[in-house]
């Protein structure tokens, strides 16, 4: 398409006039959003591809539908309006209106614009359902008085944050981490008898089995999952019903409990109303706490992925104790080179999550008085971390962990050449004599056996009897 054709296409876009408390504004005629959405769209042109996460929009649809049901049950909204609001919310949840939510993350810190985006889309969509044109006449569902009844942006956005976060953990993060843990657990069992040399300070240490080494990774992920699940009880608390500052002003009695009940019903998640709405609006400690558990898992993943790629380094000039699946060519210039790409992807994900944790911590600390005004940046960073960890764990499990194999020759060579096997002699000849053997062997490039006999500290038979790597691995399974 030529520049002239593009200009003609842009000029062909038709607009309608929408009105809000600040006056008139021109809105694309074919869009369901209204004046407040359009003002935000024009005033916050910040960042490429910085749209509000779809998970937040869908969480809003669930809470708007739940609010309509709670309001109708409590007698402050007609059943007819309830059903129409719910119908539009169902369309949102089905993905039929995805192009009606154009706002970016970098907007008001309360998320007011995204809340109004939902309200305006609901109002105008109902207009069309009733045979009118978008924006024609007085709306049957008023965006503020009906779609937003018993709500404030201050309690809807944190509610959407918690719904989206809880769902992401349930659907993506936890299943992904569990899959990787289980894959590594199977390898720990498979390699439980493969004796290898240990390393501390990046230097040779006493032996252990490959299974024991991998079992440590399994335990890390188990503890990470436990920490994450422990935070989800706080995350299950919803702010809705707190209204503007936590007092519940303009909400009917019992609304907070009922609306949380409907949200739980519609989402299938064990969500409930927050005990203290003042905390729920002004502080987002549940998000901070829960993301801290995601950071813990990221720290574990960084260590696990790096250790596995170091053990596989080589294939001839590195440690070379593991064979990893060969997934893609590793170089555009070096023929035959294969790299540990899955490990690299996981470490990048871990770095991103650690960075996200800094942003969330800073944002969480900025709850001034009755409201935190960094909600959108907390939401987007949390959801990105939860998504990345779940996806990365599945990718690493499928394309790396399940295909790990020991390099038995490399393991044997390192084990037999390690000077730290001398540790087995401590109980028989003492630490200082054992150290003399190790130092001589290193200095003169001899085996430990040769050095021990040369120093006349023990016989060949005694060395073979006392230095048995397979008996130095302890009793841990």
- Taking only the tens place, the pLDDT of each residue in 16-42 is 999 999 999 999 999 999 999 999 999
As for how many domains the chain has, the answer is 3
Residue 298 lies in a domain: yes
Is residue 6 very low, low, confident or very high in pLDDT (cuts 50, 70, 90)?
A: low
Does residue 249 belong to any structural domain of this protein?
no
Find the domain containing 232 and state its range.
Answer: 154-242+276-327+337-407
Asked if 463 and 453 touch (Cβ cutoff 8 Å), the reply is yes
Q: Are residues 229 and 126 in the same domain?
A: no
Element (H, E) at 129: helix 112-129
Query: Is 51 flagged in the annotation as binding?
Result: no
Residue at token pair 């898992």: 297
Check whether residue 28 and residue 142 sit in a common domain: yes
- Whether 201 and 219 share a structural domain: yes
Number of H-type helices and E-type strands within the chain: 18, 10
19 known ligand binder: no
Domain assignment present for residue 301? The answer is: yes
Q: What is the mean pLDDT of residues 49-61?
A: 96
The pLDDT value recorded for residue 135 is 87
Q: Could you read off the pLDDT of 142-175 as tens digits, one per residue?
A: 999 999 999 999 999 999 999 999 999 999 999 9
Q: Which of 201, 284, 365, 385 is catalytic?
A: 201
Confirm or deny that 154 is annotated as ligand binding: yes
| Per-position DSSP letters for 43-98, written without gaps between them | H---STT-BPPHHHHHHHHHHHHHHHHHHHHTTSS-HHHHHHHHHHHHHHHTTTTG
Q: Are residues 292 and 192 in the same domain?
A: yes
Evaluate if residue 65 carries a pLDDT over 70: yes
Same domain, 144 and 222: no
331 is catalytic: yes
Residues 368 and 311 placed together within one structural domain of the fold: yes
What average pLDDT does this structure show over 87-94?
A: 98
Residue 2 labelled as part of a binding site: no
Query: Is pLDDT above 50 for 7?
Result: no
For residues 29 and 95, membership in a common domain is answered with: yes
Residue 476 maps to a domain: no
Task: Answer yes or no: do 315 and 389 share one domain.
Answer: yes
Instruction: State the average pLDDT over residues 188-198.
Output: 98
Last residue of one domain, picked from the residues 387, 407, 427: 407
Q: What is the mean pLDDT of residues 276-297?
A: 98
Based on the fold, state whether residues 138 and 218 are members of the same structural domain: no
pLDDT at 379 over 90: yes
Q: Which of 407, 441, 460 is the last residue of a domain?
A: 407
**Residues 364 and 442 reside in one and the same domain:** no
Q: What is the SS3 assignment for 204?
A: strand
Q: Which of 88, 116, 149 is the last residue of a domain?
A: 149
Catalytic residue among 331, 399, 418, 438: 331
Find the CATH number of the domain harbouring 427: 1.10.40.30
Same domain, 167 and 144: no
Residue 460 maps to a domain: yes
Q: Are residues 159 and 176 in the same domain?
A: yes
32 is a domain residue: yes
Domain assignment present for residue 359? The answer is: yes
């Amino acid at each position: 398409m030529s520049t002239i054709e593009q200009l003609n296409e842009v000029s062909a876009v038709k607009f309608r006039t929408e009105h809000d408390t600040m006056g008139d504004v021109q809105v694309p005629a074919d869009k369901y959003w209204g004046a407040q959405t359009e003002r935000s769209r024009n005033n916050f042109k910040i960042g490429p591809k910085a749209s509000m996460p779809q998970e937040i929009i869908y969480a809003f649809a669930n809470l708007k539908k739940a609010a309509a049901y709670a309001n109708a049950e409590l007698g402050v909204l007609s059943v007819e309006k309830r059903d129409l609001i719910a119908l539009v919310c169902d369309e949102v949840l089905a993905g039929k209106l995805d192009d009606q939510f154009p706002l970016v993350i970098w907007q008001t810190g309360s998320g007011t614009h995204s809340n109004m985006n939902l309200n305006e889309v609901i109002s105008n969509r109902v207009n069309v359902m009733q045979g009118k044109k978008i924006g024609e006449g007085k709306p049957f569902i008023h965006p503020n008085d009906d779609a937003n009844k018993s709500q404030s942006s201050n309690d809807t956005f944190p509610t959407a944050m918690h719904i989206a976060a809880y769902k992401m953990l349930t659907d993506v993060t936890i299943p992904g981490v569990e899959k990787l843990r289980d894959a590594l657990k199977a390898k720990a069992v498979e390699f439980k008898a493969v004796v290898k040399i240990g390393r501390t300070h990046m230097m040779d240490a006493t032996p252990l089995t490959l299974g024991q080494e991998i079992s440590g990774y399994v335990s890390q992920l188990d503890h990470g999952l436990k920490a994450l699940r422990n935070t989800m009880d706080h995350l299950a608390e919803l702010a809705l019903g707190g209204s503007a500052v936590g007092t519940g002003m303009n909400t009917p009695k019992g609304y907070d409990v009922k609306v949380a009940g409907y949200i739980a019903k519609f989402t299938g998640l064990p969500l409930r109303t927050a005990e203290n709405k003042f905390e729920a609006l002004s502080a987002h400690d549940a998000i901070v706490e829960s993301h801290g558990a995601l950071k813990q898992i990221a720290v574990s993943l960084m260590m696990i992925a790096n250790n596995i790629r170091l053990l596989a380094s080589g294939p001839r000039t590195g440690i070379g104790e593991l064979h990893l699946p060969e997934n893609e060519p590793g170089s555009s210039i070096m023929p035959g080179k294969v790299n540990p790409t899955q490990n690299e992807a996981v470490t990048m994900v871990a770095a991103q999550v650690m960075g996200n944790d800094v942003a969330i911590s800073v944002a969480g600390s900025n709850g001034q008085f009755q409201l935190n005004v960094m909600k959108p940046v907390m939401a987007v960073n949390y959801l990105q971390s939860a998504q990345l960890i779940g996806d990365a764990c599945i990718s690493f499990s499928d394309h790396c962990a399940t295909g790990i194999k020991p390099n038995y020759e490399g393991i044997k060579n390192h084990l037999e050449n390690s000077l730290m096997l001398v540790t087995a002699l401590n109980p028989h000849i003492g630490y200082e004599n054992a150290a003399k053997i190790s130092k001589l062997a290193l200095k003169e490039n001899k085996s430990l056996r040769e050095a021990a006999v040369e120093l006349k500290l023990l016989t060949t038979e005694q060395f073979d009897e006392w230095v048995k790597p397979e008996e130095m691995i302890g009793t841990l399974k």
